[in-house]
Amino acid sequence: MKWLSDVSLTPHHTFGLPAHAHAIAEAHTVVDLYAIWQHPDFLALPKLVVGEGSNLLFCQDFQGVVVLNRLTGVSVDDHADHTILHVGAGESWHDLVAWSIDNDLPGLENLALIPGCVGAAPIQNIGAYGVEFCERCAYVDILNPVTQEMRRLTRDDCQFGYRDSIFKTSALQGWVITQVGFRLTKAWQPILKYGALAELESEHATPRAIFDAVCAIRQAKLPDPRVCGNAGSFFKNPVIEARQANALQTRYPEMPMYPAGEGKAKLAAGWLIEQCGLKGAKQGGARVHSKQALVLTNADHATSQDVVRLAKRVVNEVQARFGVTLHHEVRFMGAQGETSLEAQ
């Protein structure tokens, strides 16, 4: 365990916005987690577990302890028709994907270059290019640092939805993700149904080729947070009634639309934002990315309020034009815990 002397949160989230915590600690083991929660100076303070901070917007200084999850380790259990990966929650997500390709363990390649740590994947049920985390999840191990109880949740226990899970609810408040299990089938098949991957020929679509293609696509469209602060896709792709989606597509024949089951359809939030002429739009130091309208950036020493005001403008203009409400994928953090755009 390591307590940091500098309590600035700027280097600990990819937006790179100015914010501070009451205290910041690194946890490298389960014992570290126990010690942090039992520290007499911080017993009454809220705790926030952070990996790489790749999906966070600190709206205010956090009046509690930020715990940097640095639990690492990868082990492999081989079975006749599948492989189970046991991965520490503090491992880099992209490094894990790259390692799996290098070790001939395909199944995660469509999720390459998503920023963040492995422990964040089940919280958001991350997804890209036709694959969601839940499809590869075997289990999620969690710990209550106060009671020292440990539990293993099955995939069904996690109640995964579109960019959603039980970890976003109050049901598991105070629990920490310590390890994630992946089930990778040996009967691998390429998934090429989404976006630019559809241009790959299936007979030539090796896991390495898909991995390389996804990396190239993301690098061409998305800003590197080390160069321009951002939290990736800021908004979820809206899921609406198919009737409303069909009416919109009649007015806008070029509008991307995907089936979402049960009489629903999914729209591309980035396309909706772009049609509102918001690419490159600015609010203070915050800016809608010029190549991908789904991404809001810290273009020039932005504050959290710059980002909030820009996000509200995007939501309002999309609602006014299309009658569709956008919801943020990025998690908003207030002084005591999670909040929302609507509350700002």
Per residue of the chain (344 residues), what is the pLDDT tens digit? 999 999 999 999 999 999 999 999 999 999 999 999 999 999 999 999 999 999 999 999 999 999 999 999 999 999 999 999 999 999 999 999 999 999 999 999 999 999 999 999 999 999 999 999 999 999 999 999 999 999 999 999 999 999 999 999 999 999 999 999 999 999 999 999 877 788 888 777 999 999 999 999 999 989 999 999 999 999 999 999 999 999 999 999 999 999 998 899 999 999 999 999 999 999 999 999 999 999 999 999 999 999 999 999 999 999 999 999 999 999 999 999 999 999 99
Which residues are part of the catalytic machinery?
Answer: 163, 233, 329
In the numeric block, the tokens 């100015």 are attached to 18
Residue 194: what pLDDT?
76
The interaxial angle of helices 93-102 and 207-221, nearest 10 deg, is 150
Cα 341 from Cα 333, distance rounded (Å): 10
Question: Structure tokens of 140?
Answer: 């999620």
How would DSSP label each residue in 222-260?
S--TTTSEEEEE-BPPPEEEHHHHHHHHHH-TT--EEE-
- What pTM was estimated for this model as a whole? 0.94
* Rounded CA separation 235/214 (Å): 20
**Which tokens in the block code for residue 43?**
């017993």
Instruction: Describe the strand order of the beta sheet including 56-58 as a list of residue ranges.
Output: 56-58, 331-333, 338-339
Give residue for tokens 């039992």: 38
Check residue 193 and give its pLDDT.
83
Helix (H, G, I), strand (E, B) or coil at 160: coil
pLDDT tens for each residue of 110-164: 999 999 999 999 999 999 999 999 999 999 999 999 999 999 999 999 999 999 9
What pLDDT does 293 receive?
Answer: 97
Interstrand relation of 331-333 and 56-58 (parallel, antiparallel or unpaired): parallel
For the segment 245-268, what is each residue's pLDDT rounded down to a tens digit? 999 999 999 999 999 988 999 999
Element (H, E) at 97: helix 93-102
Cβ atoms of 260 and 243 closer than 8 Å: no
